[in-house]
Amino acid sequence: MSTLKAINLVHPTSATNNIVLDNAGNMTAGGTLAMSSSFMRNRIINGAMVIDQRNAGASVTPTGDGVYTLDRWQVSLSAASKFSLQQSSTAPTGFSYSTLITSLSAYSVPSGGYFMFNQPVEGYNMADFGWGTASAKTVTISFWVNSSLTGTFGGAIQNNAQNRAYPFSYTISAANTWEQKSVTIAGDTSGTWLTTNGVGMYLRFGLGVGSTFSTTAGAWTAGQYFAPTGATSVVGTNGATFYITGVQLEVGTVATPFERRQYGTEFMLCQRYFISSYNPGTAVGTATGDATGPLLQVGTTANSNSPFFPTVYPVTMRTSPTVTTYSPNTGASGKIRKRASPQSDVNSALFRNTATCGTFGPNGTGGTTDEYECHFTASAEL
């Protein structure tokens, strides 16, 4: 007579399922089964802030609007050099990294000013939301936050055209303490929401937003709004700190446990938008010396022709990327290093470029059997 072995398997968004396995592994009725929490629920990439190909953890002070920082994370700003940003090892239990934003002055944000930390989500990755239709699904945003400031903070979800917005608010109750927040948003039944390889939606966290781009929280509205009225301004206090990690966006009315993907999987998801030939942990533009980096390109001329560096990208990128080369010896951008004596940096050229591969090399001819090498980045960001 076989003995039934009960195991718990509970789907994170459904009722308990009664399943029992006997000694032969057959399923029968009875018992509770707990399913894994990882089903690609999270539409945010690098929500745990573990990938930083561009800066390798170094602090940066953004000076331009729309600049990407940690992988998949972008800043929007109306004035340069008001805050610094970097990957940080300060994190809540269960996480290794966060993004740290530090205010560099006590800046009074004008009515038309804005400072935000964003992730544009590709349309393909939220097409099932059904937004813009009567079948629009409810979603929940959850995240961990830690700030030297307390009070009401906020952000917004926006569509590609930035003419539909849902400002949301959350409260930080204790300074310098990790707190988990969640916001549930009924899907938008109006507006146009792109479902191809462009921006499907923006998830924005406000760091200081003026009245022109602020409105009442908790409802969909037509217009360009980044935050709720009256939200705390991080850039308004000199030295204020704001940490964030564990960002998740999922279908449903409750926040489920953070989806933990394998590092290699998360890295490849990031590479759809940005690829670097530098070793992980080495910032783009670092002078590495000769022949270092898994994707560093080396080529040799023949009969005084220009060498080509055909490169197959590790993943298919979102679209044909913008390619930038770097001299391994000096870190200079737009350059390729000639290794033959006398060594020198020469200008680069892009000869072919697709979402799967690229061909680049020196812009011009070289001597017979001259060797060249370069690092590169390929960006297909939204």
Whether residue 156 is found in the same domain as residue 112: yes
* pLDDT (tens digit per residue) in 73-117: 999 999 999 999 999 999 999 999 999 999 999 999 999 999 999
Whether residue 3 is found in the same domain as residue 84: no
> Which residues on neighbouring strands pair with residue 42, listed in sequence order?
none
User: For residue 47, is it within any domain?
Assistant: no
Q: Which two tokens stand for residue 309?
A: 């560096």
Domain count, the chain: 3
**pLDDT at residue 20 tops 90:** no
Query: Would you state the pLDDT for residue 109?
Result: 98
Confidence of residue 32 (pLDDT cuts 50, 70, 90): very low
Task: Give the position of tokens 């002078």.
Answer: 287
Confidence of residue 39 (pLDDT cuts 50, 70, 90): low
Whether residue 146 is found in the same domain as residue 93: yes
User: For residue 62, is it within any domain?
Assistant: no
Whether residue 234 is found in the same domain as residue 266: yes
Q: Which of 216, 236, 271 is the last residue of a domain?
A: 271
Whether residue 30 is found in the same domain as residue 109: no
Say if residues 43 and 142 touch (Cβ distance below 8 Å).
no
User: For residue 72, is it within any domain?
Assistant: yes
Whether residue 75 is found in the same domain as residue 206: yes
Whether residue 105 is found in the same domain as residue 202: yes
Q: Which of 214, 237, 271 is the last residue of a domain?
A: 271
Whether residue 92 is found in the same domain as residue 228: yes
Give me the domain span that covers residue 332: 275-379
DSSP assigned state of 57:
T
d(CA 9, CA 30): 11
> How many alpha carbons lie under 13 Å from residue 359 in its C-beta half-sphere?
6
**pLDDT at residue 57 tops 80:** yes
Q: Which two tokens stand for residue 136?
A: 């629009």
User: For residue 57, is it within any domain?
Assistant: no
Whether residue 198 is found in the same domain as residue 267: yes
Query: Would you state the pLDDT for residue 366?
Result: 63
Whether residue 117 is found in the same domain as residue 244: yes
User: For residue 162, is it within any domain?
Assistant: yes
pTM for the whole thing? 0.89
Whether residue 105 is found in the same domain as residue 217: yes
Mean pLDDT value across the chain: 88
Confidence of residue 368 (pLDDT cuts 50, 70, 90): low
Whether residue 90 is found in the same domain as residue 145: yes
